[in-house]
Amino acid sequence: MPLPQPPHTLLAFDTATERMALAVQTEAGRWLHNAPGGAQASAELLPAAQALLQRAGRRMQDVVAIGFGRGPGAFTGLRTSCAVAQGLAFGLGCPVLPLDSLLLVAEQARREAGAGAGFELAVTMDARMGEIYAGRYRHDAVGGWTVLQPPALWAPDDLARAWGAAPPPRVAGSAVPLFGPALAALWPAAQRLSVGDDRAAALIELADHAWRAGAGVDAAQALPLYVRDKVAQTTAERAAARSAA
Protein backbone atom coordinates (compact mmCIF):
# COMPACT_ATOMS: atom_id res chain seq x y z
CA MET A 1 0.00 0.00 0.00
CA PRO A 2 1.59 3.36 -1.02
CA LEU A 3 2.44 5.81 1.71
CA PRO A 4 0.40 9.03 1.78
CA GLN A 5 2.18 11.94 0.09
CA PRO A 6 2.95 15.10 2.11
CA PRO A 7 1.12 18.30 1.15
CA HIS A 8 2.58 19.93 -1.96
CA THR A 9 1.97 23.65 -1.71
CA LEU A 10 3.53 26.45 -3.74
CA LEU A 11 3.08 30.09 -2.80
CA ALA A 12 3.92 32.82 -5.34
CA PHE A 13 3.55 36.59 -5.47
CA ASP A 14 4.62 39.59 -7.52
CA THR A 15 4.46 43.25 -6.46
CA ALA A 16 6.67 44.79 -9.18
CA THR A 17 3.82 46.77 -10.79
CA GLU A 18 0.66 48.62 -9.80
CA ARG A 19 -1.15 45.25 -9.65
CA MET A 20 -0.34 42.71 -6.94
CA ALA A 21 -0.54 39.07 -8.00
CA LEU A 22 -0.75 36.23 -5.50
CA ALA A 23 -1.28 32.50 -6.08
CA VAL A 24 -1.30 29.18 -4.24
CA GLN A 25 -1.00 25.76 -5.86
CA THR A 26 -1.65 22.41 -4.22
CA GLU A 27 -2.20 18.94 -5.64
CA ALA A 28 -5.92 19.80 -5.53
CA GLY A 29 -5.76 22.92 -7.72
CA ARG A 30 -4.84 26.59 -7.92
CA TRP A 31 -6.13 29.60 -5.98
CA LEU A 32 -5.58 33.07 -7.45
CA HIS A 33 -5.75 36.62 -6.12
CA ASN A 34 -5.29 39.84 -8.15
CA ALA A 35 -5.48 43.18 -6.33
CA PRO A 36 -4.18 46.74 -6.42
CA GLY A 37 -0.48 46.90 -5.62
CA GLY A 38 1.85 49.86 -5.40
CA ALA A 39 2.21 51.29 -1.90
CA GLN A 40 -0.59 49.05 -0.60
CA ALA A 41 1.30 45.84 -1.32
CA SER A 42 3.69 46.11 1.62
CA ALA A 43 0.79 46.15 4.09
CA GLU A 44 -1.56 43.75 2.31
CA LEU A 45 0.69 41.02 0.89
CA LEU A 46 1.08 38.86 4.00
CA PRO A 47 -2.58 39.02 5.12
CA ALA A 48 -3.67 38.25 1.55
CA ALA A 49 -1.28 35.28 1.39
CA GLN A 50 -2.61 33.89 4.68
CA ALA A 51 -6.19 34.28 3.46
CA LEU A 52 -5.46 32.56 0.15
CA LEU A 53 -3.74 29.65 1.88
CA GLN A 54 -6.77 29.32 4.14
CA ARG A 55 -9.05 29.19 1.08
CA ALA A 56 -6.85 26.38 -0.27
CA GLY A 57 -7.14 24.51 3.03
CA ARG A 58 -3.44 24.88 3.81
CA ARG A 59 -1.22 26.55 6.37
CA MET A 60 1.94 28.54 5.79
CA GLN A 61 3.88 25.58 7.24
CA ASP A 62 2.72 23.45 4.27
CA VAL A 63 4.52 25.64 1.72
CA VAL A 64 7.41 23.79 0.01
CA ALA A 65 8.67 26.70 -2.15
CA ILE A 66 8.01 30.41 -2.62
CA GLY A 67 7.97 32.04 -6.04
CA PHE A 68 8.48 35.78 -6.17
CA GLY A 69 8.70 38.46 -8.85
CA ARG A 70 12.29 39.67 -8.73
CA GLY A 71 11.85 42.50 -11.22
CA PRO A 72 12.60 44.63 -13.00
CA GLY A 73 9.92 46.94 -11.71
CA ALA A 74 9.08 49.57 -9.15
CA PHE A 75 11.79 49.99 -6.51
CA THR A 76 9.50 49.73 -3.47
CA GLY A 77 7.50 46.88 -4.98
CA LEU A 78 10.62 44.81 -5.65
CA ARG A 79 11.90 45.30 -2.13
CA THR A 80 8.53 44.19 -0.75
CA SER A 81 8.46 41.05 -2.89
CA CYS A 82 12.04 40.06 -2.10
CA ALA A 83 11.89 40.87 1.62
CA VAL A 84 8.67 38.91 2.17
CA ALA A 85 9.93 35.94 0.12
CA GLN A 86 13.23 35.88 1.97
CA GLY A 87 11.69 36.24 5.43
CA LEU A 88 9.10 33.52 4.85
CA ALA A 89 11.60 31.14 3.26
CA PHE A 90 14.07 31.55 6.11
CA GLY A 91 11.34 30.87 8.64
CA LEU A 92 9.96 27.86 6.77
CA GLY A 93 13.32 26.46 5.72
CA CYS A 94 12.18 26.23 2.09
CA PRO A 95 13.71 27.41 -1.21
CA VAL A 96 12.68 30.44 -3.22
CA LEU A 97 11.93 30.61 -6.94
CA PRO A 98 13.09 33.94 -8.45
CA LEU A 99 10.78 34.85 -11.35
CA ASP A 100 11.40 37.42 -14.11
CA SER A 101 8.61 40.00 -13.78
CA LEU A 102 8.72 40.79 -17.52
CA LEU A 103 8.36 37.08 -18.27
CA LEU A 104 5.17 37.20 -16.21
CA VAL A 105 3.78 39.66 -18.77
CA ALA A 106 4.95 37.39 -21.60
CA GLU A 107 3.07 34.46 -20.04
CA GLN A 108 -0.02 36.63 -19.64
CA ALA A 109 0.13 37.52 -23.34
CA ARG A 110 0.65 33.89 -24.35
CA ARG A 111 -2.33 32.73 -22.32
CA GLU A 112 -4.50 35.56 -23.65
CA ALA A 113 -3.53 34.69 -27.26
CA GLY A 114 -3.92 30.95 -26.72
CA ALA A 115 -0.54 30.50 -28.40
CA GLY A 116 1.44 27.28 -28.64
CA ALA A 117 5.03 26.37 -29.45
CA GLY A 118 7.29 28.91 -31.13
CA PHE A 119 5.47 31.90 -29.63
CA GLU A 120 7.96 34.81 -29.58
CA LEU A 121 7.48 38.35 -28.33
CA ALA A 122 9.02 41.40 -26.73
CA VAL A 123 7.80 42.78 -23.41
CA THR A 124 8.09 46.54 -22.97
CA MET A 125 7.06 48.01 -19.62
CA ASP A 126 6.86 51.63 -18.52
CA ALA A 127 9.90 52.25 -16.29
CA ARG A 128 8.90 55.85 -15.47
CA MET A 129 11.32 58.74 -16.04
CA GLY A 130 10.68 58.40 -19.80
CA GLU A 131 12.33 54.98 -20.02
CA ILE A 132 11.35 51.37 -20.79
CA TYR A 133 12.10 47.97 -19.29
CA ALA A 134 12.34 45.55 -22.20
CA GLY A 135 13.16 41.88 -22.81
CA ARG A 136 12.53 39.28 -25.51
CA TYR A 137 11.27 35.72 -25.04
CA ARG A 138 10.25 32.56 -26.91
CA HIS A 139 7.97 29.79 -25.66
CA ASP A 140 8.42 26.16 -26.67
CA ALA A 141 6.00 23.35 -25.86
CA VAL A 142 8.56 21.18 -24.05
CA GLY A 143 11.12 23.54 -22.53
CA GLY A 144 8.84 26.43 -21.66
CA TRP A 145 10.27 29.94 -21.94
CA THR A 146 13.68 30.85 -23.34
CA VAL A 147 15.13 34.31 -22.71
CA LEU A 148 16.30 35.72 -26.05
CA GLN A 149 17.32 39.09 -24.64
CA PRO A 150 17.36 39.63 -20.86
CA PRO A 151 15.55 42.57 -19.27
CA ALA A 152 17.32 45.90 -19.62
CA LEU A 153 16.55 49.61 -19.26
CA TRP A 154 16.20 51.65 -22.47
CA ALA A 155 15.34 55.10 -23.74
CA PRO A 156 12.51 54.60 -26.29
CA ASP A 157 14.50 55.83 -29.30
CA ASP A 158 17.53 53.71 -28.34
CA LEU A 159 15.36 50.61 -28.01
CA ALA A 160 13.66 51.22 -31.35
CA ARG A 161 17.04 51.56 -33.06
CA ALA A 162 18.65 48.61 -31.24
CA TRP A 163 15.88 46.22 -32.28
CA GLY A 164 15.17 47.89 -35.61
CA ALA A 165 17.24 45.45 -37.68
CA ALA A 166 15.41 42.44 -36.21
CA PRO A 167 12.14 43.71 -34.75
CA PRO A 168 10.02 41.42 -32.58
CA PRO A 169 7.01 39.76 -34.23
CA ARG A 170 4.83 40.71 -31.26
CA VAL A 171 5.04 43.19 -28.41
CA ALA A 172 3.11 43.48 -25.12
CA GLY A 173 3.29 45.54 -21.96
CA SER A 174 2.43 48.90 -20.44
CA ALA A 175 4.97 50.81 -22.56
CA VAL A 176 3.09 50.01 -25.78
CA PRO A 177 0.37 52.68 -25.38
CA LEU A 178 2.80 55.19 -23.88
CA PHE A 179 5.65 54.92 -26.39
CA GLY A 180 3.78 53.41 -29.34
CA PRO A 181 4.72 56.03 -31.99
CA ALA A 182 8.45 55.80 -31.20
CA LEU A 183 8.42 52.00 -31.35
CA ALA A 184 6.03 51.66 -34.29
CA ALA A 185 8.32 53.73 -36.48
CA LEU A 186 10.81 50.87 -36.65
CA TRP A 187 8.50 47.97 -35.69
CA PRO A 188 5.55 48.58 -38.02
CA ALA A 189 4.75 44.88 -38.45
CA ALA A 190 4.92 43.93 -34.76
CA GLN A 191 1.56 42.71 -33.48
CA ARG A 192 0.37 44.56 -30.37
CA LEU A 193 -0.91 42.05 -27.80
CA SER A 194 -3.18 42.58 -24.81
CA VAL A 195 -2.42 40.77 -21.58
CA GLY A 196 -5.67 40.89 -19.61
CA ASP A 197 -5.91 41.36 -15.85
CA ASP A 198 -5.12 37.88 -14.51
CA ARG A 199 -1.47 38.18 -13.50
CA ALA A 200 -1.88 35.53 -10.79
CA ALA A 201 -2.66 32.73 -13.26
CA ALA A 202 0.47 33.51 -15.26
CA LEU A 203 2.50 33.81 -12.07
CA ILE A 204 1.66 30.37 -10.71
CA GLU A 205 2.28 28.80 -14.12
CA LEU A 206 5.84 30.19 -14.07
CA ALA A 207 6.36 29.19 -10.43
CA ASP A 208 5.18 25.64 -11.11
CA HIS A 209 7.49 25.30 -14.13
CA ALA A 210 10.44 26.66 -12.10
CA TRP A 211 9.72 24.24 -9.26
CA ARG A 212 9.52 21.25 -11.59
CA ALA A 213 12.75 22.35 -13.29
CA GLY A 214 14.58 22.38 -9.96
CA ALA A 215 15.14 26.15 -10.03
CA GLY A 216 14.72 26.63 -6.28
CA VAL A 217 17.55 28.49 -4.53
CA ASP A 218 18.43 29.38 -0.96
CA ALA A 219 16.43 32.12 0.74
CA ALA A 220 19.54 34.31 0.86
CA GLN A 221 19.29 34.58 -2.92
CA ALA A 222 15.87 36.25 -2.84
CA LEU A 223 17.34 39.39 -4.37
CA PRO A 224 15.81 42.04 -6.64
CA LEU A 225 16.83 42.40 -10.28
CA TYR A 226 17.79 46.05 -10.60
CA VAL A 227 18.53 47.31 -14.10
CA ARG A 228 18.49 50.97 -13.12
CA ASP A 229 21.06 52.65 -10.89
CA LYS A 230 19.13 55.88 -10.54
CA VAL A 231 15.68 55.50 -8.98
CA ALA A 232 14.51 59.13 -8.83
CA GLN A 233 14.79 62.40 -10.73
CA THR A 234 16.00 65.66 -9.27
CA THR A 235 13.57 68.59 -8.96
CA ALA A 236 15.18 70.22 -12.00
CA GLU A 237 14.87 67.03 -14.05
CA ARG A 238 11.18 66.69 -13.16
CA ALA A 239 10.57 70.33 -14.13
CA ALA A 240 12.39 69.80 -17.46
CA ALA A 241 10.30 66.71 -18.16
CA ARG A 242 7.06 68.62 -17.48
CA SER A 243 8.20 71.42 -19.80
CA ALA A 244 9.03 68.93 -22.54
CA ALA A 245 5.63 67.29 -22.18
Could you list the pLDDT tens digit for every one of the 245 residues in the chain?
443 445 589 999 999 888 899 999 999 999 999 998 777 777 899 999 999 999 999 999 999 999 999 999 888 888 999 999 999 999 999 999 999 999 999 999 999 988 777 899 999 999 988 899 999 999 987 778 999 999 999 998 899 888 888 999 999 999 888 887 777 776 888 899 988 889 999 999 999 999 999 999 999 999 998 886 544 444 443 444 445 44
Same domain for 175 and 212, yes or no, is no
Residue 179 lies in a domain: yes
What 3-state DSSP class applies to 21? Answer: strand
pLDDT of the residue at 232: 44
Residue 235 lies in a domain: no
Residue 164 lies in a domain: yes
pLDDT of the residue at 9: 96
Residue 229 lies in a domain: no
Same domain for 18 and 93, yes or no, is yes
Residue 3 lies in a domain: no
Q: How far is CA 42 from CA 14, 55, 72, 81, in A?
A: 11, 21, 17, 8
pLDDT of the residue at 164: 84
Q: How many CB atoms lie within 10 A of CB 33?
A: 17
pLDDT of the residue at 236: 43
Residue 227 lies in a domain: no
Same domain for 125 and 179, yes or no, is yes
Give the Cα separation of 61 and 88 in Å (integer): 10
Same domain for 115 and 184, yes or no, is yes
pLDDT of the residue at 7: 57
Same domain for 58 and 112, yes or no, is no
Same domain for 96 and 132, yes or no, is no
Secondary structure letter of residue 194 according to DSSP:
-
Same domain for 206 and 181, yes or no, is no
Same domain for 60 and 119, yes or no, is no
Residue 202 lies in a domain: yes
* Domain carrying residue 59: 9-100+197-221
CATH code where residue 217 lies? 3.30.420.40
- Dihedral (Cα; 86, 88, 91, 95), 10-degree rounding: -60
Q: How many domains does the chain have?
A: 2
Residue 183 lies in a domain: yes
